[in-house]
Amino acid sequence: MKQFVLIVLAFLPFSLIAQKVDKKTGAIMYKGAKIGNVEKSGGLAKSFTLYDASGEEIASFEPKLNNPQEEYFEIFFAQTDNKGTCPANISFANKIAKAYIKSKIVKDGEYQSNKEARFISALMGTYYGGNVVSKPMFTEKVGNDDQSENDLLDRNRNATIQVFGNKVEQDFKQIATVTKTQQATLGTIIIRYKIYNHKGKQIAEATAKGIMSTEYRVVSLRDNKIHFVTTQNSLFTVKDIVSSLVENYYL
């Protein structure tokens, strides 16, 4: 009987044996030692906070509802004030703990800021196609200084949006330029569009998985909000993405 148990344990995933989160205390246990803590708070929509072994805050996770079918978390990295996003998942505290261990975002007691994107990828279980935005959680605004961040081009916003190569016009004025790249990551082609305003400042990034995909995840670099855009087909991709940014007053 003992041999049978040992054989079964040998075939269990290593993470199931080595890592777990205590449901009462939130302690992250790994190889018999406490290496961190996941704190849960809130009502129906739970917030989470990740701490290292010394009690130093690593990241907080705030629930957001983009649409009735799509719930996600905004991630705020406490050590750098950087931000990211990830979909909501069942047993999210365990997901956080696994990502904490797998990404090695804390190594030998030292925070590894260059592992933040890797942490989100581990949390999602797939390549993270978004940005870890170097921007404080809260921006102090004085007077009308925030206008420079919006910086919208004066034009007829109801005019037709037209695409000419990598340039986008509305009301016969160039409102944006767009660059496109694609990269194979973990066996999946990631399509990435970067959108720049009329002054050449990048204001958003759109990503999709697969060459034929018509579903794009658009992240605004100004406030790191996520928008989902369904394009008609590849011929209308740029126009549909830019139209969404115009409707939401990013352009």
CB proximity list for 77: less than 8 A, separation 6 or greater: 58, 59, 83, 84, 113, 116, 132
Q: Is the pLDDT of residue 152 over 70?
A: yes
Query: Average pLDDT, stretch 68-78?
Result: 77
Indicate if the pLDDT at residue 215 is higher than 70: yes
* Percentage above 70 pLDDT, the chain: 80
pLDDT number for residue 13: 45
User: Which range (9-13, 169-173, 208-212) has the least confidence?
Assistant: 9-13
Residue 71: give the domain boundaries: 12-124
Q: Are residues 119 and 157 in the same domain?
A: no
Q: Is residue 208 one of the residues assigned to a domain?
A: yes
Q: Which amino acid belongs to residue 249? A: Y
At 194 the pLDDT is 93
The tens digit of pLDDT for each residue in 86-120 reads 887 778 889 999 999 999 999 888 998 888 888 98
Q: How far is CA 227 from CA 60, 125, 160, 193, 230, in A?
A: 21, 21, 21, 14, 10
Q: How many residues does the chain have?
A: 251
Q: What is the mean pLDDT of residues 11-31?
A: 68
pLDDT at 19: 63
Asked if residue 7 belongs to a domain, the reply is no
The yes-or-no verdict on residue 58 having pLDDT over 50 is yes
- In this structure, are 100 and 185 located in the same domain? no
Q: Sign of torsion, CA 98 102 105 110? A: positive
**In angstroms, rounded to a whole number, what is the distance separating the alpha carbons of residues 49 and 131?**
20
Helix (H) or strand (E) holding 61: strand 57-67
Does any domain span residue 224? yes
- Provide the 3-class DSSP secondary structure of residue 69: coil
Same domain, 225 and 162: yes
Whole-angstrom distance, CA of residue 251 vs CA of residue 248: 8
Q: Is residue 138 part of a domain?
A: no
Q: Please give the pLDDT value at position 42.
A: 77
Q: What residue type is assigned to position 218 of the chain?
A: V
Of the three residues 124, 156, 189, the one that is the final residue of a domain is 124
List residues bridging with 202 in a β-sheet. Answer: 196
Q: Which phi and psi (to 5°) does residue 124 adopt?
A: -80, -25
Average pLDDT across the chain, whole number: 79
Number of domains into which the chain is organized:
2
Determine the 3-state secondary structure of 42 from DSSP. Answer: coil
pLDDT tens-digit map of 167-208 = 999 999 999 999 998 888 777 888 999 999 998 899 999 998
Q: Looking at 91, 124, 157, which one is the last position of a domain?
A: 124
